Amino acid sequence: MKLEHQVESPLDSERYDRIVREENWNPKETAIIVCDVWDYHHCLNAVRRLEEFGPRLNSVLIEARKQGVTIIHSPSDCMPAYEEHPARKRAMNTAPASRLPESIESWCSLIPAEERAVYPIDQSDGGEDDDPAEHAAWAAKLTSMGRNPNLPWKSQSKMITIDAQQDFITDKGDEVWNILESRKIKNVILTGVHTNMCVLGRPFGLRQMARNGKNVVLMKDMTDTMYNPQRWPYVSHHEGTRRVISHIERFVCPTVTSDQFLGGKPFHFSNDREINSTSETPKSHNGLPTDHWVTIKIPSDKTILHNSQGPAWCRCVVRIPEKWFEDSITLTTEGSPQVMKAWCNGHAMKLSLQNEKESVFTATANSLVPDDANLIVLQLHENGKLDRAPVLTSGLRTLQLSGRWQVRSGTDEAFANMPLPAKFGASTDIFFSPPDALWTARALTRIGEFTSGIEGPACDADGNIFAVNFQKQGTIGMVTPSGRGDIFVTLPEGSIGNGIRFNDEGDFFVADYMKHNILKVNTKTRAVDVFAHDDKMNQPNDIAMAPDGTLYASDPNWADGTGQLWRIDLDGTITLLNGNMGTTNGIEVSPDGTTLYVNESRQRNIWSFKIGKDRQLTNKKLLRKFDDFGFDGMRCDVDGNLYITRHGKGTVVKLTPAGQVLQEISVLGAHPTNICFGGQDGRTAYVTEVEYTRLVSFRVDRPGRNWKASE
């Protein structure tokens, strides 16, 4: 398979390089999901485009099926038509997966990598691009057939063959996940319609597959968008599709084309005359237009509207968890009364309180959709501004809506809503959601961005994650909290890093296992120097830092199954502390600096030592022994609990300081190598994982031990 994706280089340059990488896929570990290829659609031009590429899509499925690829047909809302179909029963009867991702049954409107992207098209009108007269005639025809012209689909298109003996039929995210897990499927190809809505957002769509760890791709010539060229950015329909595909390649997942199954050339629509055009990154707009919505950041101390063309309108989309519905849901805007009215999903919110300090709007129960996208619209005075972010509240739960909103001016009351539900019509760049549930692992970086030597991780004060061997061996990559990465430094020739630790000055140390070094990296100049060296080291592996700045290093000899422990003083002096251990690997110091923890990977032991005032180790105790799987890196939280990566098992285990197991968290791959803590509150764990050579993150209940509250 040839996978195409785009990489920004350097970061924040808005310049993207197109990368093509080849991968060998086992067909039995691969599935194709056919998304919403319905028998009828409310948009006539959408029907015409599907009729053009549908036969080729069917040919792709026939060829893939011959090779052993699993085919899953997912025509949403059409399951009643297949109640007795063997492929539907096969899906329903698949055994539940042992690990069901959080919210896999729900629509997904955003993944972290998209958080900084400008969404490339305006689809809030529903994306219908029919000629009005043709559309009216088409709607009348659907009505005469007994179909709802707005929701006319009842089954999958007859152009697509369903093999009753092999295929599956389901539109449910949990059932799709059960199928993938039961067949040990790693690779998922999405096809069908519509790219910017269902293909991206459905519970079985690209975002859910990407964030939950599958090697997912879009077959970009077997898809189509819902985009109206009369809306921003005012390009042709097919150019709109290309811009959405470009967004996917940059922020969601790679793409492939149908010729990789069928040979020949990729498919192109017959009326697409711009197949060689380039899809530019959308730019920010100056001023506030009256003809389309633009994106700005809120809060802002600037007046949103600078003309007299009516009030200013602001809108965003919020996912509201079902548990929030236990209490009334209010929206509070602080400061002098700037907001005149507020709506939720087109329903007026009740103004329940207004004074010089704040305005409080209450949502009606029937206006909200739990665990789904909800459109929030505010109408401001002509000279209104939002210098404080609105806050959504339910009981003791709050969500600050600080970030990007869309704004425009005008007097049209239709701006209070959009024709389609928010999950279809809204763009991803105005989406807000509470944090994921605790212990829910999500893929942060793309598969293959690191080498199989991925290790290290450590966070700086800004929340960036540093890990070794980004793109190639001998490098250290810096990854933002949204998953964008770049090479931070290249180590001296012959050096390869492993564990990383930051000091209080913001510089970091790296265990260089190839050259028996502890390196120091100046983060301001990016200079790399040898801080400590000893030829008697086997290969310094992981490092830990005590509160006083003293470093401790594990030093395994994998061939002999033995290991050593070293202390590295502030002046770089190296002292052997213990030369008679098993394969020492993960290493950590307790929050109070009095205990050193070391694990032995092959022997599956976790030891504790007392650190004396002379920094010698005494009182060696076995904290816990496990019967299976190895260990790798580990970290403490502020309470002294240990988080240990279980290499081979694909989990992180949380232990008390006494060795009791509190949690075990799946990390979406079998070979986690190390862990660190970061995020604004120190409660995001980042794990380096070798099977898919990527970073994985999950939320925890208490901060990591090195976290310090902002001044």
Question: Per the domain annotation, does 668 fall within a domain?
Answer: no
**How far, in Å, CA of 663 to CA of 668, rounded?**
16
Does residue 622 share a domain with residue 542? Answer: yes
The CATH number of whichever domain residue 332 belongs to comes to 2.60.120
Lowest-confidence pick of 49-58, 209-218, 287-296, 361-370: 287-296
Q: What is the pLDDT of residue 285?
A: 44
Which of 604, 635, 666 is where one domain is finished?
Answer: 635
- Res. 374: pLDDT tops 50: yes
Question: By C-alpha distance, which of 131, 695, 184 is closest to 463?
Answer: 695
Q: Which two tokens stand for residue 517?
A: 């070094």
Question: Per the domain annotation, does 303 fall within a domain?
Answer: yes
Does residue 406 share a domain with residue 547? Answer: no
Q: What is the pLDDT of residue 302?
A: 67
Q: What is the pLDDT of residue 365?
A: 82
Q: Report, as an integer, the average pLDDT of 164-183.
A: 98
- Asked if residues 701 and 482 have their Cβ atoms less than 8 Å apart, the reply is no
pLDDT band at 709 (very low <50, low <70, confident <90, very high): low
The CATH number of whichever domain residue 528 belongs to comes to 2.120.10.30
Q: Which two tokens stand for residue 552?
A: 């401790």
Question: Per the domain annotation, does 389 fall within a domain?
Answer: yes
Q: What is the pLDDT of residue 304?
A: 62
Which residues lie across from 83 on neighbouring strands?
Answer: none
Q: What is the pLDDT of residue 389?
A: 93
Domain holding 201, by residue range, is 2-15+28-262
For the stretch 469-519, pLDDT in tens is 999 999 999 999 999 999 999 999 999 999 999 999 999 999 999 999 999
Which of 240, 262, 284 is where one domain is finished?
Answer: 262
Q: What is the pLDDT of residue 288?
A: 52
Q: Report, as an integer, the average pLDDT of 373-387.
A: 88
**How far, in Å, CA of 585 to CA of 59, rounded?**
51
Which residues lie across from 169 on neighbouring strands?
Answer: 73
Does residue 250 share a domain with residue 164? Answer: yes
3-state helix, strand, coil in the chain (%, to 5): 15, 35, 50
Indicate the burial class of 14 (C-beta count within 10 angstroms; 0-12, 13-18, 19 or more): exposed
**Strand 508-512 to strand 497-502: parallel, antiparallel, or no bridges (unpaired)?**
antiparallel
Strands lying side by side in the sheet with 642-646: 634-636, 642-646, 651-655, 661-666
Does residue 600 share a domain with residue 464? Answer: yes
Cα angle for residues 58, 64, 70 (degrees, 5° grid): 100
Taking every pair of C-alpha atoms in the chain, what is the biggest distance, in angstroms? Answer: 89
Q: What is the pLDDT of residue 414?
A: 94
**How far, in Å, CA of 684 to CA of 596, rounded?**
23
Does residue 369 share a domain with residue 480? Answer: no
Question: Per the domain annotation, does 653 fall within a domain?
Answer: no
- What residues contact 136, with CB distance under 8 A and at least 6 apart? none
- Res. 190: pLDDT tops 50: yes
Q: Which two tokens stand for residue 195?
A: 């790219």
- Res. 292: pLDDT tops 90: no
**How far, in Å, CA of 162 to CA of 90, rounded?**
13
DSSP state of 233: T
**How far, in Å, CA of 413 to CA of 366, rounded?**
20
Higher-confidence residue of 383 and 467: namely 467
Q: What is the pLDDT of residue 116?
A: 84
Q: What is the pLDDT of residue 334?
A: 85
Look at residue 91 and give its three-state secondary structure: helix
**Strand 431-432 to strand 508-512: parallel, antiparallel, or no bridges (unpaired)?**
unpaired
Q: What is the 3-state secondary structure (H, E, C) of 408-457?
A: EECCCHHHHCCCCCHHHHCCHHHEECCCCCCCCCEECCCCCCEEEEEEEE
**372: how many CB neighbours lie within 10 A of its CB?**
19
Question: Per the domain annotation, does 213 fall within a domain?
Answer: yes
Look at residue 664 and give its three-state secondary structure: strand
Does residue 626 share a domain with residue 584? Answer: yes
Question: Per the domain annotation, does 344 fall within a domain?
Answer: yes
Q: Can you say whether the dihedral through the CA atoms of 30, 96, 201, 424 is positive or negative?
A: positive
- What residues contact 205, with CB distance under 8 A and at least 6 apart? 35, 108, 190, 198, 199
Residue 679 identity (one-letter amino acid) = G
Task: Please give the tally of structural domains in the chain.
Answer: 3
- Res. 427: pLDDT tops 60: yes
Q: What is the pLDDT of residue 276?
A: 46
The CATH number of whichever domain residue 219 belongs to comes to 3.40.50.850
Does residue 619 share a domain with residue 470? Answer: yes
Q: What is the pLDDT of residue 356?
A: 85
Question: Per the domain annotation, does 144 fall within a domain?
Answer: yes
For the stretch 606-618, pLDDT in tens is 999 999 999 999 9
Q: What is the pLDDT of residue 138?
A: 98
Does residue 316 share a domain with residue 223? Answer: no
Does residue 362 share a domain with residue 226? Answer: no
Cα angle for residues 77, 144, 224 (degrees, 5° grid): 45
Most confident of 68-77, 335-344, 347-356: 68-77
Q: What separation in angstroms does the CA of 143 have from each of 65, 347, 348, 427, 512?
A: 37, 28, 32, 31, 71
Q: Which two tokens stand for residue 110?
A: 């955003």
- Asked if residues 491 and 497 have their Cβ atoms less than 8 Å apart, the reply is yes
Q: Report, as an integer, the average pLDDT of 296-320.
A: 80
Question: Per the domain annotation, does 682 fall within a domain?
Answer: no
Q: What is the pLDDT of residue 44?
A: 98
Q: What is the pLDDT of residue 300?
A: 82
Q: What is the pLDDT of residue 14?
A: 87
Does residue 255 share a domain with residue 212? Answer: yes
The continuous run of DSSP H or E covering 373 comes out as strand 373-380
| Percent of the chain at pLDDT exceeding 70 | 96
Does residue 477 share a domain with residue 394? Answer: no
Question: By C-alpha distance, which of 249, 172, 184, 164 is closest to 210?
Answer: 249
Q: How confident is the prediction for the chain on average, in pLDDT?
A: 94
Residue 352 identity (one-letter amino acid) = S
**How far, in Å, CA of 550 to CA of 567, rounded?**
7
Does residue 333 share a domain with residue 194? Answer: no
**How far, in Å, CA of 126 to CA of 595, rounded?**
60
At which residue do the structure tokens 């086997």 appear? 538
Q: What is the pLDDT of residue 425?
A: 95
Which residues in 189-211 are b (16+ Cβ under 10 Å) and which e? Answer: bbbbbbbbbbbbbbbbbbbbbbb
The continuous run of DSSP H or E covering 65 comes out as helix 44-67
Which residue blocks in 68-189 are alpha helix, DSSP H?
Answer: 86-92, 132-144, 173-182
Question: By C-alpha distance, which of 555, 558, 557 is closest to 578?
Answer: 555
For the stretch 257-291, pLDDT in tens is 999 999 999 999 999 986 544 455 554 444 555 57
